[in-house]
Amino acid sequence: MKILVTGGAGFIGSHVVDAFINAGHDVVVVDDLSTGRQQNLNPKARFYQLDIRDPGLAEVFEREQPQVVDHHAAQMDVRRSVADPMLDADINVRGTLNLLEMAHTYGVRKIIYISTGGAVYGEPRYLPCDENHPIDPICQYGVSKHVVEHYLLVYRHLYGLDYTVLRYPNVYGPRQNPRGEAGVVAIFTGRMLSGRPVTIYGTGEQERDFVYVGDCARANVMALSAGSREIYNLGSNAGTTINLLFSRLANIIGYSSVPTKEQAKAGETFKIYLDGRKAQAGLGWSPSVTLDQGLQQTVAYFREYERDL
């Protein structure tokens, strides 16, 4: 099967590309390298350096004729969405509409769309959040990602374009950017390994659902042949506090400094974790890597490949 992966040079997208190629598929990557990195690219994939908003995307679809589009490219920083909501909407809504138009025009069979379980629900009314939880985002990023879920319904109704939506938790693991504003595991790991101070925003009692990147990549492969017109949370059914995450990483790395505390950031949910039972029933998916195993693997990767931290 020929699959076009947007954001395929990014942290999560590159792992998804690897998983598709390992499963025997023909993969095309579109990435503007604004946050993705050339070294993440699988050499067996054909690469086009292009923004998803670019009209030149049509040339890629014309040449490659993909059967499936796996859409990871996005503005995915909650804090940036609050600071610059116009950019957030331009990339996540207008850019995705450009992609959907190309998919419709060139006969794509299915879209696998990456949404966010961490931001669409807002402050949960109950935990863990299942797919029926009310949608009530408290940041622009959550809004822009959810809007596309409605567009997918429209394109299915008008043109028969199939889709599966995967609502991601807090994904972590190798290749995550330790210098970015998002990705607390990578940021903590990078600062600890270089002996720099670590900052926790808020009390540290915020809870997140941390799922290893390899597990999320595996769900994308499963969604190729299952989950038609469905929305799935990829969740572990449990939350981990930021304070506990800090302690576990510090223990693995041998970091002895105490974190500094600063004011919590606007737009961020205090406590969120996801119910993954629907994904288990519909895709056969559940997390296989424990948090301790995943943190060990992440630290080992950073020690070997991110030496200029």
The encoded tokens of residue 66 equal: 């993909």
Is residue 219 within 8 Å of residue 265, measured between CB atoms?
Answer: no
Q: Which of 121, 141, 163, 212 is catalytic?
A: 141
Q: Distance between CA 222 and CA 282 in Å, rounded?
A: 10
Place of tokens 């889709």: 163
Is residue 273 within 8 Å of residue 236, measured between CB atoms?
Answer: yes
Q: Which of 8, 3, 55, 1 is nearest to 27 (CA)?
A: 3
Q: Distance between CA 115 and CA 284 in Å, rounded?
A: 19
The encoded tokens of residue 127 equal: 């935990």
Characterize the bridge pairing of strands 260-262 and 162-168.
unpaired
| 141 catalytic residue (yes or no) | yes
The encoded tokens of residue 247 equal: 């302690």
Q: Give the largest CA-CA distance in the chain.
A: 58
Identity of residue 113: Y
Q: Distance between CA 29 and CA 7 in Å, rounded?
A: 7
Question: Taken in order 75, 78, 80, 86, is the CA torsion positive or negative?
Answer: positive
Is residue 215 within 8 Å of residue 274, measured between CB atoms?
Answer: no
Characterize the bridge pairing of strands 207-208 and 240-241.
antiparallel
Q: Which of 34, 46, 118 is nearest to 73 (CA)?
A: 34
Catalytic site positions: 141
